[in-house]
Chain A
């Protein structure tokens, strides 16, 4: 009962200070919304990866995977079963049907382990019979069939002319997936007698021979619960999103901290009275805690609702980025799990408690008989600034140590976080120095007051200014990084997409005819055959990419470093070129020797060069096309780049289409491929831009709410000036100028910090996350634009409190001089 009464007394404060209550709730809501929105997207994507990985082998099932190659001979199946290994074969690949590329999985249903992922609808005996019938069936999820415009019993034909068994709808199946009997799959994928992996049945069997004895190095065991390739490849992408969500959360907590701090100051007499009336410190703190948790839960639920809306709005872009970058199928529609709600609320409550910790400790230590010292700001500010400077120095030293000794992506983010936090803590110290300088140089009394008063205001506004600094620095940093990446990417595209037309003909016989036709044409300067094959090196999936020996590549290929006469070595098969990220991941340096597993034995070559391969999550090694085709006969001479005489591109494209019936999916001109690459690039960073804007918006709200809440407590400073003859309008203009000056100083300090953030992202985070390093480019126009945006945000945030002051009734100012104050 006593606690309820105390709670009622405490809540009465919020009833009288509704704007402050709104500030607190807005802060908590913004923090929770952005954090939970990002988490919802991550959760959705991870769930999709888990499902994809567990489809007939992956996270849930132990597997045997090929050692060096991509597939293994089917004969191993019988060998393994005879050796006591209860395995089931799976073949996987992609087929083109019409304009779509779909994942096809071939299974052997009778030996399939029970826990091998989502039931493909084969638990029903009737369905199993249909699946195993001579004509077979192709299972597809109803949603996928509807999306693609296919219907049950339809017979699909692949691009290469193979017919799939009739479609059968299987409700539990994953999206974007076709499942057929492995026999059909081997024919359709043109992989006769080949197996992608063996799933191991966990059912206890008899003794089994050691794997090495059965299959040598052809197979390796992957235990259940291992991270999938997709999870590993996309980890950096999600870590980036999480970092953004966390930053937004922290910026939101700045608002909460500021609102709680102010409420504490204003409630100080009330708390003293309660203590004087016999309420123990522990009781008071527990009721304050209960009040805080209650407010956090209310704001948390609203924040989660906003987070859901944010996630729903961003998910299509994220899904498109993940599909474009990693080929990951993430549904564009959000499915929320109960854990998300619980985690979001827990984060909101925990954040509020952290933000309020200082105020709560002060309540515990509240001296009853000491009166308030309203003007002891000079001394306390000096102590506060020294404390901030010391803490900032300690954090910056820790960040430096993480930079010097850290090796992982997490330490890279720790460097970034430490640099940002240290700089934010140092901000009031630097502003104080700048304001002191201004004060020393000022002439008029009002200007002197404005500088000195700005210094006094620092402690009240510092959190909002720190939030603005962080948001701006991250905006500048990410903007500079994206700009640098974009510029580098365009230059790189010019090198990578050097041919004028790209042509893919899946049938090698048909391709030979087309190549002969192309070589006779006078308007074609060069026909550059290319090829590709997949291998594994050090357990990593690696793409071997074949290039023709031609001046086009010798002149334009984006080499970062190379040995002398590297292209001659590549032509002869003595040298290979390694992509920057693969080199970094496997620790391969120029001059090292690499072993490439091929069907005809190991190919050992020297690393003659390292080249940029931006945006490719997989490792890539570039070799000569002829050398590749000699060793990977099945790869086929099916891809061509064409150098065409100026102005002849449309004509050649038209004739290729009309003469050979090639469509847009087989044929693309350089401009189209570049435009598509740029579109994927832009979409990838669309989410970043939105989160950037949100973070800046939250910082604007932080500044606005701080100014609004400070408005009332500023009256004792402003009223004497009014009484001494400074008009309300002039006071309002002065206040506006002072806040804009502080915002300008903060924004100017944010620019070098932002460039530091960009450097950190490019030199530390990107290198650790993706394996590539970019040249840092500064864009003065973009910096000026951000500066203007920041000043506009500050102006909007300042305007309302200033208008309130300008229009304040004299009676409000007179209250300052009332005896009973």
Chain B
């Protein structure tokens, strides 16, 4: 489902070139949930951004559902993000001007894949059914993150990429959010790749890969 081959990325700095990822290889199968761990600055977020097509690699290949993300035009990458990926960020990154209901359905609607039954189920399972008419600012951090997860899953993506989704939440809420995410991912049949610092949360997922000095172990 996701195949990352010999992926490298470096950044030019005034002090010289900083190599963040060095020939990284990774495969994630459909229905599988994988935790991506590593020290701060090890390149976890960079890897996630490259897979999401938000940034371009120096070399290597990213193939999602048989289609190459790397090397695709910006328009094609945007289309793949819309239709095949669900993104969850630490800061939630909800759209503050839209109500919860509109935030939940936003990506599915722009991808033309809105499924009301699925959206309704998601809202119910995420405990958001009574909050659809509220604005994000009126929700707690945990509730906002549940909206972000719902938005990512509403499009029925092939892969959900989550970058420290519980970084802003307390332990109990974090556990609840991850458990819920895993359950819904399994229910929808998609894969999950989640960046986390927490070994405890990583242990809740099927598999764990660790990034050290730009390489996966």
Contact = CB atoms under 8 A, between A and B. Distances in A.
A445 interface: yes
Contact of A717 (B75, B79, B96, B105): B96
Nearest to B108: A445
B110 A811 contact: no
A361 interface: no
Count class of interface residues, chain A = 35 or more
Interface string A712-735: 000011011111111110000000
Nearest to A378: B135
B43 interface: no
A727 B78 contact: yes
B102 A445 contact: yes
Nearest to B99: A452
B110 A723 contact: no
A445 B109 contact: yes
Contact of A816 (B56, B80, B93, B102): B93
A554 B114 CA distance: 81
Contacts of A810: 54-56
A475 B54 CA distance: 47
B4 to A, nearest CB: 18
B78 A725 contact: yes
A563 B52 CA distance: 88
A814 B54 contact: yes
Contact of B110 (A726, A817, A818): A726
Interface residues of B, number: 39
Interface stretch (A342-350, A369-377, A600-608): A369-377
B93 A723 contact: yes
B53 to A, nearest CB: 9
B111 interface: yes
A723 B107 CA distance: 10
A444 B102 CA distance: 11
A731 to B, nearest CB: 10
A378 B134 CA distance: 10
Given A723-B52, A725-B78, A811-B55, A373 B93 contact: no
Interface string B85-96: 001011101111
B124 interface: no
A627 interface: no
A537 to B, nearest CB: 67
A456 B97 CA distance: 6
B45 A819 contact: yes
Interface string B57-88: 00000000000000000110011111100010
Contact of B87 (A378, A445, A723, A816): A723
A717 B109 contact: no
Given A445-B110, A724-B110, A727-B78, A818 B45 contact: yes
B106 to A, nearest CB: 5
A810 B11 CA distance: 13
Nearest to A452: B97
Residue of A373, A813, A817 contacting most chain B CB atoms (<10 Å): A817
A208 B74 CA distance: 99
Contacts of B45: 817-819
A120 B49 CA distance: 86
Contacts of B111: 725
B26 interface: no
Interface in B151-193: 151, 163-164, 167
Nearest to A725: B82
Contact of A727 (B56, B75, B91, B138): B75
B98 interface: yes
Contacts of B106: 445, 449, 724
Contacts of A727: 74-75, 78
A727 B73 CA distance: 11
B39 interface: no
Contact of A377 (B52, B107, B109, B137): B137
A375 B137 contact: yes
A543 interface: no
A515 interface: no
Contact of A720 (B55, B82, B95): B95
A449 B98 contact: yes
Nearest to B89: A817
Contacts of A455: 97
Interface in B4-22: none
A817 B97 CA distance: 18
B110 A377 contact: no
B214 interface: no
A728 B77 CA distance: 12
B142 interface: no
A444 B109 contact: yes
Contacts of A377: 96-97, 137
Nearest to A716: B93
A722 B164 CA distance: 19
A722 B87 CA distance: 11
A739 to B, nearest CB: 15
B81 A724 contact: yes
A378 B105 contact: no
Contact of A723 (B81, B105, B135, B164): B81
Given A444-B109, A449-B106, A726 B78 contact: yes
Interface in A443-464: 444-446, 448-449, 452-453, 455-456
A726 B74 CA distance: 10
B98 A817 contact: no
B152 to A, nearest CB: 9
A724 B104 CA distance: 12
Nearest to A446: B110
A379 interface: yes
B57 to A, nearest CB: 12
A373 B136 CA distance: 12
Contacts of A819: 45, 90, 163-164, 167
Residue of A378, A452, A725 contacting most chain B CB atoms (<10 Å): A725
Interface in A774-821: 810-811, 813-814, 816-819, 821
Nearest to A445: B109
Contact of B95 (A444, A721, A818): A721
Contacts of A719: 93
B136 A375 contact: yes
A553 B165 CA distance: 89
A813 B138 contact: no
A720 to B, nearest CB: 4
A383 to B, nearest CB: 13
A334 B52 CA distance: 65
A723 B95 contact: no
A448 to B, nearest CB: 6
Contacts of B102: 445, 448-449, 452
B163 A817 contact: yes
B110 A717 contact: no
A260 B110 CA distance: 38
27 contacts: A375-B94, A375-B96, A375-B135, A375-B136, A376-B137, A377-B97, A378-B135, A378-B138, A379-B137, A445-B105, A445-B106, A449-B95, A449-B106, A452-B97, A456-B96, A456-B97, A721-B95, A723-B54, A725-B78, A725-B79, A725-B80, A725-B82, A817-B45, A817-B49, A817-B91, A817-B163, A818-B45
Interface of B: 45, 49, 52, 54-56, 74-75, 78-83, 87, 89-91, 93-98, 102, 105-107, 109-111, 135-138, 151, 163-164, 167
Given A448-B98, A724-B82, 19 more contacts: A375-B136, A375-B137, A377-B97, A378-B137, A449-B98, A449-B102, A452-B102, A453-B95, A453-B97, A456-B96, A717-B96, A725-B79, A725-B81, A725-B83, A810-B54, A817-B45, A817-B89, A819-B45, A819-B167
Which are the 3 A-B pairs with shortest beta-carbon distances?
A: A725-B82, A445-B109, A452-B97
